[in-house]
Structure 1
Amino acid sequence: MTDARIAVARPRVPKEDDGSTLSWEELLSSYRVAFIRGYFRFRNSVRNRVWPTTTNNLVVVCGLSQYLLHYQPPSLHYLTRHLNTMATALPLPASSPTWVRNAVVSCGISVGFFVVLMRVRQYLLRILLAYRGWMYEKPREMSLKTRVWGVCVKLVSGYQPSLYSCQRSLPRMPVPPLHATMGCHGRVMPSLQAAQRLHFKPGRGGHERLIYALPESWAAPDAEEKYAYLMNRTPLAINSNYYCLDHYSWAPTTKQVSRAANVIYSLCVMRRLIDREQLQPLCLRGTIPICMAQYERLFSTVRCVMAQYERLFSTVRCVMTQYERLFSSVRCVMAQYERLFSTVSSQASVTDNSAVLAGQVLEHREVTNEDLLLRQRLVQRLPLQELCYRLVAGSVSDSERSVPALTGLPRTQWATLMEQHFAKGINRDNLDIIHRAAFMVVLLDAPPKDIHDKGKTLLHADGRTLWFDKSLNVCFFPDGQCGFNAEHSMADAPALGHVWEYAMTNEVLEKRYLDNGEVMPPPREFRQGPHSPPRRIIWDMTDALAHSITQAAHANLQQADDLDLFIEHHSAFGKGVLKKALISPDAFVQIALQLAYFRDSGGRFVQTYEASATRLYQHGRTETVRSCTRESSAFVRAMSEDTVSRTQKLALLREAGERHQSLYKAAMNGEGIDRHLFALYVVSRGLGYDCELLENVIKRPWTLSTSQQPQQQVTNSNLPDINFEPFRKMAPQFTLKPLVGIVAPDVEKCTSCAEALVFCTAYQAACIYLHAVLVLG
């Protein structure tokens, strides 16, 4: 049956391989578009390299020099004398006109001044951004030193930075002193003996050898990405990937395809902003920029499985200007009722290296001169809705619709199957389509029973629907609700949370749906360019591959059944009340979790993980905050004793909160311990140096894993405040995954606003110490 379908299917042969030659018109068009693409990529690269200076500085200095040399103003005789001396000293023919000498001098002075100014501003800005005193002061109670520093940062910084303009000015994370790391480790891990905490075996250079082996860029994400993620052999489903909900209890429409069309369109617009670097970089307090490097791999990225370790494949970015009529193609792969289709979610060009020519991008549609002359725009919401409707009808075999189940297997097993069944032929071509797609779209066939079932479905679905290797899987339920599942190694949750918040916010700010729930049609004068209909992805399904898919789906379902997930909306109070009580909301939640686990587990304290962002530094990602401290343990024990007064308990709570807050700020400032110890561990293994301490630290399980997600990253003056009653139900909720597998059976996620707290608890059903109701109670 499969062979018959493949025989009658249109062969996917690239243009350059079908024996034909390009016409002169097509050849010239391809060269023209390649030149335009290269020009804008080069222009954006130059802008990022010279920021915070601009070409305006170059033009002004050149014009001023030319004016002084031409008019010779008497009031500036000192400057004009030196300029004339330089013009006379030029090795030009004696017959050269004066204006030529003046032009050469002006250009040379302007270029030299521009380069010096650029270097000085970049290094000065990097030095200024290394200051962290502002973090330990309240925004309304800043010292004079911090105020002066803020003014200096504003003066040195350029205006209208692009997405990656601030990257070169961000400081690098310094290598912390080893004694400081070990001292902090001893304070947060009091159960270890002093000799075990501080002892490095001598011989072969001892710990000095490890320290000097650490490169200057030790905190770059390469080592963490490779050794913590890409070399991990556990399944991605549940263990690594994370998920995100849409609005908590509100949906703008109850129609699945209409919601899908609008969200796909918003994501494509966001991807275009990222590709063109038109998205404004995020700045803390409107002054301090953070690292935006993770945004480069949010779309068109896949985790390519291999036998030993894996790599991330990301389609080459195509940077286009807003005035360019040929947009880069953005393709998404849709799976409706577990049927895989390939469709086009933006109009096209021959400019996207993800598929070289439009003959490949648009499912081998030939490019005509009329296509190039049309004003090509992103496919609008109404055509996208029609494309989604086409995916509803049809049938396919269970094996073909369950191919994504293979991505949920252990990585070594999936790599073996990849080599056996997907290394060549039509299956290889299908994988290329999926790998080069911007993201996956999944139209589910069953609505969630409740919010808990919704979160669990987005985390693992039915074990055969989500392509876990893909950077982004956007899922849509039949009742109009949606969410996504994301791969973790390419970026952390706040980056994708920013993209998702943009898509969800636009549904509130703009009227995108008719009263009947259908997509709002575009204006009559709008002219939509041509687009291709969706086409089935047909797999070469052998008996061995079908058997492997069935086993994978069964294994994924067993793993999903072992997971318990609970989401609770706590509306009695939010972070507004906690701030009035002069305690950090994050610290309050972390201490509450310690108390809940202590009571539920029979008086046990366990190693607790909390993620803290280090994006104040270049290529920073996360650092670990160890929430279980001596101060929090003292408060938890005091809560279990009736002899301790309420005043003493409150004092212990404040002390524990201040301790947690200081640890969190230290982690943000690069003073954490876990990433440093991990880097030392990687270096020690590379040098063949065995260290018992590092082995103990790295392999110690994280029994509790917690995190929180920032809200309102979108900078928009018209953005509604989620703390207002009409918008509380519209707030998008972000939830994370268990960071590791069997050894860490629980993860707690909290999202907070001024009036409410949202908890997500996920743990393995076999864990006897945890129960979602008790954790939240």
Structure 2
Amino acid sequence: MAEAHQAVGFEFTVHPDGVDVKLSKEVLKNIYLSSLTAWRKKAIKLKNGILTEVYPASPSSWLIVVIAMMMSLYTGTDPPLGIIDTIKKNLPYQHCLSTQARAVLSAILFATALWLFFIHVIRFSLKILLSYHGWIFESHGKMRTSTKVWLRLVKMLSGRRPLLYSFQAALPRLPVPRVKDTIEKYLESVRPLLDDKKYKQMEVLAHNFKENEASQLQRYLVLKSWWTTNYVSDWWEEYIYLRSRGPIMVNSNFYIMDLLYVTPTHRQAARAGNIVHAMLQYRRKLERGELAPLRALGTVPMCSTQMERMFNTTRIPGIETDFVLHLTDRKHLVVFHRGRYFQVWLYTGGRHLLPSELENQFQQILNDTSKPQPGELKLAALTAGDRVPWARTRLKYFSQGPNKESLDAIESASFFLTLDEEPQGYDPENVYSLDTYAKSLMHGKCYDRWFDKSFNLISYPNGKMGVNIEHSWADAPIVGHMWEYVLATDCFHLGYTEEGHCKGDVNRCLPSPTRLKWEIPEQCQDVIHASYLLARHLADDVDFHGHLFTEFGKGLIKKCRTSPDAFIQLALQLAQFRDQGVFCLTYESSMTRMFRDGRTETVRSCTSEAAAFVLAMEDPDATNAQRLALFRKAADKHQNMYRLAMTGSGIDRHLFCLYIVSKYLGVESPFLTKVLSEPWKLSTSQTPQQQINLIDINKFPKYVGAGGGFGPVADDGYGVSYIIVGENLITFHISSKFSRHNTDSTRFARHIRKAMIDIQTLFKQEKDKSAVENGKDVHLENNKKNM
């Protein structure tokens, strides 16, 4: 019970002579340091909040304007054209101020108003500049003079050293596309998927929609875009994620893996200690807004709104819809190990726990041999099953007593950590090692992840790590940004001792981790078991395969003068056709974060141009020159579609919002119903590398991430996530379902590999042919000279 004595701040004894009070200096010191840190934290947040509100100006620029107005008073000039005198005459409580004081106060008020006016003018000008997206459609390395001038203006108005949220007020709103344009693009996108008869039927539905319901629905959507910062994001979060009543495990949550080839230490507690400490450092920067905003071309800012809910966030189940609960300033995390839940405090004396102190806390949990309480072992299965039983169980059994206190501890925790029992990671000797690693991160045992938390950090006995992320609050690049920072900090800043422990001394006076208490009746245990069985069936049905493509990478693709993403997407189309024998509706995720509160848009990668290229590849009579010409045409088409999606001219978010408006108004639209019911049999996404400056891959080629993945969107389809790492590696994460005999993730990986090599061969043959022709020309030229 040593930890109980350490937690007591004072002791008192009652005796006949009075009360003898003994204070603990150590605890009082911690209280003082905690209070000091809290006030310092508030001061820093206040300062950074003010800097963000007045950006791109600064308090020093306000002082300059005030001094200039003061100088005008004493020099007798009148730049304000009498406005200062007007303010002076209308000041309240004039009798309390001298003439000179009124003049000075009037000058300060005018200077402040002028300063704020210029801030709004600059922001408005920047917003207008950022509404221009022509730069994104220009060929790489061929920027027009007008775009260069635009870029210089953006840089000039962007100020210096922006904070994370400095550009939020200057970001433009997502525009609502014209219905006519959306319908034309939609019909174009489904043409390769439909025969002539079905396409004619779709044309009729689209025409009837455009002539009848479209204008009314569009008016309401435009009206919404005027009074909200983003006409899509709130409905997207609610209807795509939070209103889903099925399991979020596999169907919604996604995962991110650790470094592929490197494990900094094989001590589980030590690696978890460093990673958690690095996350706390990142959270501190995030809360203070001190992270640099992500900017395209190093200049065009991206929206940072999604990052606000990264920590201390939980998805709360409801009967009809869930909601996202975000708290601030919570100082603990909850750790799961062998069916037990532990609460670990992350701060002491006003500071973060050091990595060595966190290692000691986690090692205590690993050494704990206590047994789970009745119903505790598989409790988290409630978050893995259907949402309605979980919502009802939460209301009935977790609304009071120790169950409520323990559940509050989980839901308010910074994040959820699982100390897993089985080693995972990439093993070159085991071709299925990435498969089991992916399944462990995606669903684990179905009861050892709290799937409602914003993210679960998973630690393995061999030192490997990973993350499982709930999808409603943010998209993959948001967590990816944090994970890049954490891995770089762990390996290159924190480090380990020669024995593999965290560096630094350990404070042995810290309180030990606290077991959470549960009183779970048998009726609740029955619901837990039912949720577990449902989740187990879903998990066992998922077929994951991880494939490392090492034949070539971004370096060689760029030498082919084509986009790496377009190259891979066309390879996926070729692989899909070879695997299934037909084309299918394909989803590629694109971001819209150049707009305020932007999230994602869909790129429909199966185009008529892509289909023509694939058919040419399968046609033995087609020449390589014909295939290559069709590839370049399809790649250009894909790149243009991706750019349109990024700049707010996509198809699917507009149609989705029109459908939501139709439901609110009770308007039946056969066209929208048909569009929203179409299955995405091939769902793809690229995991971007956003902070390539953190790790020099050329210097440290082994320190590369493995990316992440997600479950299949359609039961009879594939989910494919890929990450382009450095110049010579592309990692694919492929998912499907065992229960559908027409899909096989390992088989699809073989098709992807062959498609990638076949496309690269086209360029190689063209290069070889060109070299031969050039050689002949040189030979003829030499013969002429000799003659």
- What range is the shorter-chain TM-score in? 0.7 to 0.9
| Superposition deviation, residue 99 in structure 1 | 2.9
Specify whether residues 519 and 176 from structure 1 end up closer, same or farther in structure 2 by C-alpha distance, changes over 3 A only.
same
User: Is 2:753 aligned against 1:752?
Assistant: no
User: Is 2:205 aligned against 1:231?
Assistant: no
Distance 1:251 1:81 in 2: 69
User: Is 2:492 aligned against 1:492?
Assistant: no
Distance 1:84 1:243 in 2: 60
| Superposition deviation, residue 114 in structure 1 | 1.0
Distance 1:729 1:79 in 2: 63
Aligned to 2:766: none
Distance 2:394 2:353 in 1: 33
Kindly provide the CA deviation profile for residues 452-484 of structure 1, in whole angstroms up to 9, marking residues without a partner as x: 211110000011101101111000111111101
Aligned to 1:140: 141
Distance 1:669 1:750 in 2: 23
Aligned to 1:670: 648
| Superposition deviation, residue 71 in structure 1 | 4.3
- Name whichever structure is richer in helix by fraction: 2
Distance 1:631 1:159 in 2: 44
| Superposition deviation, residue 80 in structure 1 | 8.9
Kindly provide the CA deviation profile for residues 605-664 of structure 1, in whole angstroms up to 9, marking residues without a partner as x: 111111000000000000001111101101111111111000000111111111111110
| Superposition deviation, residue 57 in structure 1 | 2.1
The structure 2 residue matched to 1:550, chosen from 529, 538, 557, is 529
Distance 2:651 2:403 in 1: 45
The structure 2 residue matched to 1:702, chosen from 680, 696, 699, is 680
Q: What SS does structure 2 have at the residue aligned with 1:247?
A: coil
Q: What SS does structure 2 have at the residue aligned with 1:286?
A: coil
Map 1:372-521 onto structure 2 (within 5 A): 374=349, 376-392=350-366, 393-397=368-372, 399-448=375-424, 450-510=433-493, 512-521=495-504
User: Is 2:160 aligned against 1:153?
Assistant: no
Specify whether residues 179 and 477 from structure 1 end up closer, same or farther in structure 2 by C-alpha distance, changes over 3 A only.
same
Specify whether residues 284 and 531 from structure 1 end up closer, same or farther in structure 2 by C-alpha distance, changes over 3 A only.
farther
The structure 2 residue matched to 1:297, chosen from 309, 327, 333, is 309
Q: What SS does structure 2 have at the residue aligned with 1:197?
A: helix
Distance 1:299 1:751 in 2: 25
| Superposition deviation, residue 100 in structure 1 | 1.5
Which residue type is aligned with residue 218 of structure 2?
A: I
Map 1:144-293 onto structure 2 (within 5 A): 144-190=145-191, 191=194, 192-193=199-200, 194-200=203-209, 206-214=213-221, 215-216=224-225, 217=228, 219-293=231-305
| Superposition deviation, residue 598 in structure 1 | 0.8
Distance 1:140 1:451 in 2: 38
Distance 1:485 1:31 in 2: 34
Kindly provide the CA deviation profile for residues 249-269 of structure 1, in whole angstroms up to 9, marking residues without a partner as x: 210011111100000101111
| Superposition deviation, residue 31 in structure 1 | 10
| Superposition deviation, residue 727 in structure 1 | 2.8
Specify whether residues 83 and 221 from structure 1 end up closer, same or farther in structure 2 by C-alpha distance, changes over 3 A only.
closer
Q: Which moved more, 1:539-548 or 1:222-231?
A: 539-548
| Superposition deviation, residue 115 in structure 1 | 1.8
| Superposition deviation, residue 98 in structure 1 | 4.8
Which residue type is aligned with residue 612 of structure 2?
A: A
The structure 2 residue matched to 1:568, chosen from 541, 547, 552, is 547
Aligned to 2:777: none
Aligned to 1:721: 696
Distance 2:702 2:32 in 1: 53
| Superposition deviation, residue 721 in structure 1 | 2.5
Aligned to 1:51: 55
| Superposition deviation, residue 752 in structure 1 | 0.5
Kindly provide the CA deviation profile for residues 181-216 of structure 1, in whole angstroms up to 9, marking residues without a partner as x: 00000100112321123322877xx32210111111
Check the 8 A contact 1:258/1:517 in 2, yes or no: yes
Check the 8 A contact 2:346/2:353 in 1, yes or no: yes
Q: What SS does structure 1 have at the residue aligned with 2:710?
A: coil
Aligned to 2:639: 661
Aligned to 1:644: 622
Distance 1:305 1:122 in 2: 40
| Superposition deviation, residue 741 in structure 1 | 5.4
Q: What SS does structure 1 have at the residue aligned with 2:314?
A: strand
Kindly provide the CA deviation profile for residues 270-311 of structure 1, in whole angstroms up to 9, marking residues without a partner as x: 111111111111111111110000000111100000100010
Specify whether residues 83 and 241 from structure 1 end up closer, same or farther in structure 2 by C-alpha distance, changes over 3 A only.
closer
| Superposition deviation, residue 335 in structure 1 | 0.6
Kindly provide the CA deviation profile for residues 714-768 of structure 1, in whole angstroms up to 9, marking residues without a partner as x: 375xx3322x2x63332122212126353x6420011013111111101101223
Kindly provide the CA deviation profile for residues 573-626 of structure 1, in whole angstroms up to 9, marking residues without a partner as x: 00111111011111111111111111111x211111110000000000000011
Specify whether residues 90 and 659 from structure 1 end up closer, same or farther in structure 2 by C-alpha distance, changes over 3 A only.
same
Which residue type is aligned with residue 379 of structure 1?
A: L
Q: What SS does structure 2 have at the residue aligned with 1:636?
A: helix
| Superposition deviation, residue 138 in structure 1 | 4.2
Distance 1:29 1:345 in 2: 15
Distance 2:276 2:37 in 1: 26
Aligned to 2:769: none
The root-mean-square deviation of aligned C-alpha atoms, in Å, is 2.7
Check the 8 A contact 1:301/1:313 in 2, yes or no: yes
Aligned to 2:70: 66
Q: What SS does structure 1 have at the residue aligned with 2:595?
A: coil
Check the 8 A contact 1:329/1:346 in 2, yes or no: no
| Superposition deviation, residue 401 in structure 1 | 2.0
Q: Which moved more, 1:214-223 or 1:238-247?
A: 214-223
Distance 1:37 1:510 in 2: 23
Kindly provide the CA deviation profile for residues 101-144 of structure 1, in whole angstroms up to 9, marking residues without a partner as x: 43123212211211210110111010011111211224532111
Q: Which moved more, 1:43-52 or 1:677-686?
A: 43-52
Specify whether residues 700 and 61 from structure 1 end up closer, same or farther in structure 2 by C-alpha distance, changes over 3 A only.
same
Kindly provide the CA deviation profile for residues 205-247 of structure 1, in whole angstroms up to 9, marking residues without a partner as x: x322101111113534110000110000110110000001010
Distance 1:152 1:512 in 2: 42
Specify whether residues 98 and 570 from structure 1 end up closer, same or farther in structure 2 by C-alpha distance, changes over 3 A only.
same
Q: What SS does structure 2 have at the residue aligned with 1:565?
A: strand
Which residue type is aligned with residue 325 of structure 2?
A: F
Q: Which moved more, 1:332-341 or 1:420-429?
A: 420-429
Distance 2:286 2:742 in 1: 44
Distance 1:766 1:80 in 2: 77
| Superposition deviation, residue 545 in structure 1 | 2.0
Distance 2:621 2:413 in 1: 63
Distance 1:707 1:589 in 2: 11
Q: What SS does structure 2 have at the residue aligned with 1:759?
A: strand
Q: Which moved more, 1:508-517 or 1:495-504?
A: 508-517
Distance 2:241 2:94 in 1: 64
Which residue type is aligned with residue 724 of structure 2?
A: S
Distance 1:78 1:302 in 2: 58
Distance 2:169 2:83 in 1: 33
Larger Rg: 2
Specify whether residues 659 and 420 from structure 1 end up closer, same or farther in structure 2 by C-alpha distance, changes over 3 A only.
same
TM-score normalized by the length of structure 1: 0.86
Check the 8 A contact 1:239/1:741 in 2, yes or no: no
Distance 2:556 2:678 in 1: 36
Which residue type is aligned with residue 739 of structure 2?
A: A
Check the 8 A contact 1:377/1:529 in 2, yes or no: no
The structure 1 residue matched to 2:607, chosen from 629, 634, 659, is 629
Q: What SS does structure 2 have at the residue aligned with 1:596?
A: helix
- Give ranges in structure 2 of 5+ residues lacking alignment: 8-22, 425-429, 751-787
Distance 2:343 2:647 in 1: 45
Percent identical across equivalent pairs?
A: 32
Aligned to 1:365: none
- Give ranges in structure 1 of 5+ residues lacking alignment: 1-8, 13-22, 317-327, 348-373
Distance 2:496 2:33 in 1: 39
